[in-house]
Each structure stands twice: as C-alpha cells, then as structure tokens.
Structure 1
C-alpha cells in the first residue's frame, strides 16, 4: 500500500510501470539502458479513491490524464531506474494529495462601518489635495 493521506492509500497493483530509454545526456549508457519510468495509474476506475477526489483529480491533472482517465507520468530525471521509480511514485502521490485537499468555501462578507468611514475619509483627503493643485496662489501686496 502506498499512503496518500491519513484516509486514502492506493495499492501497488493499481500502478503500472514500464521502463523506457531516457533522453538527454548520459553518453553511451543512454543508448543501452532503459532507466526512465513511465507510470500509469487508472484513476477513473480506481477503487481506492473516493468520487470527490476523482473529480478534482480530473481538473488538476490536465494533460497528464488521458481521455480514459489514466494518469501517465514519465520520470527520467535520475540515471538509475530505482530513483526514477521513486520519483514517479512521489509525483503521483503529490498529485493525489493535491486532489484530496478540499478548500474551504469562501463566505462573502461586507465591509464594516469603520472601514467604510476610513475609505470615505481617505477619498475626501485625496479630493482636497487635488483641489489645491488647481487653484493659483494669490499674492496680495
């Protein structure tokens, strides 16, 4: 079991890993070793995830999720298969944590009486400053 939150964890058999050749630098090693990992997780049909998490995950995952509801993550940051496997699983867990977090509903509030008064005082003060700019100074001699 891979723990995601205190209440949600996914089974290892729900994750499908395939090893592919990584791109980028690495000399001749890059041509003969499949060190990159492509992780697939069928989120839409996963029995481990509640429905609310599945719906939020579809919105959060974006291009990482296919039309069929499968999350595809490719990890090729490290030179070893094991490190890339851990990186891919960590990224999946992070994505699931983000989807499991439910933001609080915002309660609309109106400004209080004091705030209204301070705003109007500030406007009046600014208005006075601008009025003084327009008047020409008089010299009475």
Structure 2
C-alpha cells in the first residue's frame, strides 16, 4: 500500500513498475541504464475517489497523458531499489498536489503603522504629481 494522505491509499497492483534496459551510445554508464525504472499509473482505472481523478486529469503536467496514464521515468540512482523509491515518491508528490486542498486565507487587518505609511506615501505622491509641470513661485 502506498499512503498518499490520511484519506487516500493506493494498492500495489494499481502501480505498474517495469525495469528498462536501454541500448545507449558508446561510453554510456551501463549500471545507470540497467537500473532505469518506468512507473505507470492509470488514473481512470484506479481506486482514487472521482473528485481526485478529475483534479489529477486537470493538472498541467507533461507526465499525465490525455488517456489518464501517468508515466514517471527514474534513472538517477545506480540501484534499482532506489530508482523505484524515487519514482514512487514522485508519484506520491504528484497525487498529493491534486489531493490537498488549500485553506482559504482569512484576511488580516492592517496594522496602525502600515496604515500610516500607506497614507504618507499616497499624500507625498499626490503632492509631487500635483506640482509636476507647474512653476514654483
């Protein structure tokens, strides 16, 4: 089970992880290529609540296809296990960005000092603007 938040969990069968061994150009690091991982997660066929599926599909992320499939490629580590953990962590971050709801900010009252500074700035600007182009006698 991959725990996304206290309300959302994903089963292991929903996340498809495959090891990719690419043929690279000469001189490429073979260990790094051999441990590359592709993670595939189908949003529409997952156990996520419908509201989260819609929010995930609406995210402007290039890893999410129009068909609702998230593909994450990880090959930054030399070992396969670390690359799997990295891919799972990135999937978790992506889903969390759609799951978490931002709290509405309560408007704060301006302090006396900030109100005074604002008035001072406005009156000073008003005076200088009013005097522009006029001859002082």
**Could you say whether these structures have the same fold, taking a TM-score greater than 0.5 normalized by the shorter chain as the test?**
yes
Q: CA RMSD in A?
A: 3.5
Distance 1:62 1:120 in 2: 44
- Give unmatched runs, 5+ long, in structure 1: none
- Give unmatched runs, 5+ long, in structure 2: none
Q: What corresponds to 1:4 in structure 2? A: 4
**Closer/same/farther in 2, CA of residues 29 and 130 from structure 1, 3 Å limit:** closer
Q: Is the 8 A contact 1:22 1:35 kept in 2?
A: no
The structural deviation recorded for 1:22 is 5.8
Distance 1:137 1:33 in 2: 77
Q: Is the 8 A contact 2:21 2:35 kept in 1?
A: yes
Distance 2:23 2:123 in 1: 64
Distance 1:132 1:61 in 2: 50
Distance 2:88 2:131 in 1: 66
TM-score by length of 2: 0.75
